[in-house]
Chain A
Amino acid sequence: MVVALAAMLGACQDNDQQAADNTGVDASVDSKMVTTAIGDAADLSISAKLIGTAQLGTALDGEGSYTVFLPVDDAWKSLETAERQAIESAENRPQLISVLRQHIAPGYVLESDLEKGLSEKDGSVTLTTMGAMPITLQRDGQTITLGQGKEAPRIVGAPIVAGNDVVYRIDRLIPPPE
């Protein structure tokens, strides 16, 4: 009985350690609303504008919790001119929202959660999205990519952690399925 209790207490200590591992909060937590924090990021001005165009700001600032992969300005600028013009047209809002939804996952995935998951899953984890298909996050050396191949977006810079959301910058849009 004593041995059993000791073993269970040992397990409890392990549980405590595990709990401690994923209750920690990454260093830079922004007290702003997430749309304000995104708007303040100089390299996310186009994403901020498009979130406004899509009227998704209330959702991101609201009760729900999201992990968002936002293309930096250079990623949007790298699109063909016709695509960029179409993105910003009112008649294409359903399409714009579809694209943005593909870049949004449910919940609050901190950098530490991502690193832990990648470590436990041999460098590749699948993340559900609000869009048309899940995304696969993969470690490639010091880089984390969304998917594989030369078009796979890479996470760049430090994430924004604000409100109930975590925002990762990525250097490309998530490429659509062929």
Chain B
Amino acid sequence: MQTKFFLAGIALLSLPLSMPAHAQDKGKSGQGSEKSKSGERNSGPGKAAGPANRGADKAQDRAPKITGQNARAVGKIDAGNGKKPASPANDRGPADRKSDQRGNSDRAANIPRGQDGVVENFRMRSLKDGRYVWREPGFQGCPPGLAKKGNGCLPPGQARKLGGIDDRGTRWLRYANWFGGNRGGDWRYDRGYAYRVDPVTGLVGGIVPLLGGALFGGNTWPQSYTNYKVPSYYERYYGSGITDSVRYADGAIFRVDPETRMIGSIAGLLTGDNWNVGSPAPKGYELYNVPYNYRDRYADTRASSYRYNDGYVYEIDPTTRLVRQVIELIV
């Protein structure tokens, strides 16, 4: 163990922090006995590995991989069998899964991720005055049953009739502030959608299907909401072993039947915190939070801190708090 960290420490000291992401990758294969596989390439957004492969992978050795990416991810490391059981039959305790991980030998690959980490529709947030603010990636079309007229889905008079996001009937007393609090007064809520209504013209300028409203198991995916792609990594991470497609909206990951467009389940929740290599880690990650199956590999040391968010583990410089690399947890 001492030798492992001694060598890792030398490797880390030799890496200038300002080094381009892809260059850092080449120097960061020191976590375990890793094997380069440069040239292999992930499928792009919307091009997940076939379900059969994903299902088969679940029982196989998922060795860590490090990959390069300019913005979001520098490292991609699959750290062993980190899967949760897909069925009660596979429901093994953490101790069992940990044994599996220890039995695996690490390998790494430098894999350019292309546009994987750049998904425009993700609701990225920032912290302002103690609250999160984000850009709402709504759509300009009309939800079912509403005709598009002029610049909005409704004429001014009708748009104003939509319930205010904090009106009685669309909220439940003070706890509804968690729902509407970060959306301004120009937002209205009606039947599972939030509408941004121009306060002057009364026209609907944007529509956001809401988690738990239009976006809910058993509902058909909103036809107008087409900006739902996820990185191929998320298709594997949140959709492994299934034939459904994996889609994103309103801070959540959904499994959707590709033929009927029926939402099958809410597969994950995302914070939308913005992590970028070379930038400071977002606030709110003071506590060590790496999932159980990865703690052996990504334990905090004086040389590196590790934090989990939205399916990735991030390596952070403990002194500067700058993000060094982004680590994917499965292949």
| A residues in contact (CB < 8 Å) with B | 8-9, 11-16, 18-23, 25, 29, 31-33, 54-56, 58-59, 61-67, 79-80, 82-83, 86-87, 92-99, 101-102, 104-109, 113-114, 116-117, 121, 125-134, 163-164, 173, 176-178
Complex: A165 Cα to B269 Cα, angstroms: 13
Are A31's CB and B92's CB within 8 A?
Answer: yes
Residue from A58, A98, A116 in contact with B179 in the complex, judged by beta carbons closer than 8 Å: A98
Closest Cβ neighbor of B313 among chain A residues:
A107
- The interface residues of chain B lying within 8 Å CB-to-CB of A92 are 171-172
> Given A22-B299, A64-B269, are A176 and B174 neighbors across the interface (CB < 8 Å)?
yes
Are A94's CB and B266's CB within 8 A?
Answer: no
| B residues in contact (CB < 8 Å) with A | 1-2, 5-6, 9, 82-85, 88, 91-95, 127, 130-132, 171-179, 181-182, 189, 192, 210-213, 216-217, 237-238, 240, 251-253, 255, 265-271, 273, 282-293, 295-296, 299-303, 307-311, 330
- The interface residues of chain B lying within 8 Å CB-to-CB of A114 are 287
Nearest chain B CB to A109 CB, angstrom units: 5
- The interface residues of chain B lying within 8 Å CB-to-CB of A82 are 172-173
Closest Cβ neighbor of A31 among chain B residues:
B93
Complex: A75 Cα to B143 Cα, angstroms: 37
Are B266's CB and A59's CB within 8 A?
Answer: yes
- CB-based A-B contact count at 8 angstroms: 232
- The interface residues of chain B lying within 8 Å CB-to-CB of A61 are 84
Are B291's CB and A108's CB within 8 A?
Answer: yes
Residue from B172, B270, B299 in contact with A95 in the complex, judged by beta carbons closer than 8 Å: B172
- The interface residues of chain A lying within 8 Å CB-to-CB of B179 are 94-95, 98-99
- List the 5 closest pairs (A to B, CB-CB), nearest first: A107-B289, A128-B284, A31-B93, A86-B172, A93-B212
Residue from A16, A56, A62 in contact with B2 in the complex, judged by beta carbons closer than 8 Å: A16
Nearest chain B CB to A143 CB, angstrom units: 18
